[in-house]
A and B are shown apart, each in its own frame.
Chain A
Amino acid sequence: MRTPTFLVMCALILTAATPAWAGSIQLRTVVEKEIETVDENGETRVHRVPADQVIPGDEVIYTIRFQNIGTEPAGDVRITDPIPVQMIYKIGSASGPDADVLFSVDGGKTLAPADRLTVLDDGGNPRPPVPEEFTHVQWVLKTPVVPGGSGEVSFRAQLK
């Protein structure tokens, strides 16, 4: 008797998630890491594989793929990703096509370019943040995403 109930629940969720007037940007995030392998010719190759598991010191790549599945262009697109607390943002690694990259060091309350971020030191004076203090990355796309258009943004972080 579980199957019918499950189907009904799925139908409800689908209905709630995609009402007729819903937005059109679909997001998909993956976490990967790079491994090196040596092929039969002795050449070292770097591959990205899903980071199902990591060990302290590992560097991972968070990638967010976006696509406009609607029929209207989507403007003012901002994609925000929290940096997991166990991870240290790798300075300079946030990238994305045709986007301004902003950061937060206060849990996402305020966002600014990396060179304008400050935190208060023990004496209450502003200082530049250290990588461990970055909490969020935000990409502000400079152009609308047209119907069918897609792209991806990413950043790298290291497991504490």
Chain B
Amino acid sequence: MSLEECVLRRAWYSLCCAAALFSFAMGAHASGTPVCTEIVNEATATYTIGDTEFTETSNSSSTTVAQLIDVSVVWQDATNVTVRPGESFRVLTFLVTNTGNGADSFDLSVVNTLAGDDFDPAFDDLYLDDGDGNFDTNDDVLYVSGSGDPVLAPDESVLVFVRNSIPGDAVSEDLGDSRLEAASNTGSGDPGTSFPHPECDTDIVVGASGGGGGDIGTYVVSAIALSFVKSQSILDPFGGGEPVPGAVITYTLTVTATGSGTAESVTVTDPIPANTTYNGGTLTLNGGGLSDPADADAGDVGATAPGAVTVLLGDLTEDSPSQTVTFAVTID
């Protein structure tokens, strides 16, 4: 924050602070000096009278660091989270940070009845990350208000996963907002409000966040549909098309996306039929060969899914060209 902004903000809040002993700098310094730190200062003077040198020390001035309560909540998903009508347990990720200078715990809540969106998600549950940054119901902790409130040291953060259900009547491109709120259990109120600190001779002061903060995450409904079409051609050892032992079957899978939105990370998995053997080196995607082992290219045979070919098509939209996968087997 620039000095000018600081002065302006101070002026803005000066009405409510007229009687308070505190000025405050709106939490501009996240890594603050810890609460209850006593800062002592002593000056020294040297001088001469005649030829004699003297040294004199001042009294000690002292100031004690009060506790600033502040919290920030920031939605972490890079873009709107794509969902389908009627889905449950769809995750939005938020980062809650203690931007004050004392340890604090925070009550978490989710508000879904927000204006300005197309539908209200239905709250399912909240999880606190175990530290690995990934949502996992086995490792992460289901949040329980009160006993499960996250305790954060100054500057410490926790990832919070909010899960909501999407109404079945939502239609493509509808947006639904969900707001995670964190409220300090130490105190809240108008910025500048203060009350005594229990552990040292100083105060606890409510910072710019008012002791609570929140941020909105957004879902977008995608009604995109994928069609899979599979066809086969047979070439028998005699140049005909009979499915006899030794005949080669070439399968062609065509995947097409229709509708609005994006189908993310589309993967095609197709089992190699019983009583056939995959013909090595025949896997292709859109006419280009894919090697059989799991490697940098988009496909493999038997590695990702045993006994099957797997091809990663990636994100598909209606504008994407149809994706064509082919492979060949020999009848045993």
Contact = CB atoms under 8 A, between A and B. Distances in A.
Nearest to B101: A56
Interface string B117-142: 00000000000000000000000000
Interface in A15-70: 21-31, 33-38, 44, 49, 51-60, 62, 64, 66, 70
Contact of A29 (B17, B18, B43): B43
**Interface range, A side:** 35 or more
Contacts of A34: 23
B56 A23 contact: yes
A54 B66 contact: yes
Contact of B43 (A80, A87, A160): A80
Contacts of A37: 14, 17-18
Interface string B29-63: 10111000101111111111110111111111111
A28 B59 contact: yes
Contact of A36 (B17, B41, B44, B54): B17
A73 B54 CA distance: 13
B32 A159 contact: yes
Given A30-B61, A52-B63, A57 B43 contact: no
A54 B65 contact: yes
Main secondary structure of the interface of A (DSSP, over half): strand
Contacts of A60: 63
Interface in B55-83: 55-68
B50 A56 contact: no
Contacts of B46: 76-78, 80
B64 A81 contact: no
13 contacts: A27-B58, A30-B61, A31-B39, A35-B23, A36-B17, A38-B15, A52-B63, A53-B63, A53-B65, A57-B25, A78-B47, A87-B39, A159-B39
Interface of B: 10-11, 14-15, 17-18, 20-29, 31-33, 37, 39-50, 52-68, 101, 202-203, 205, 207
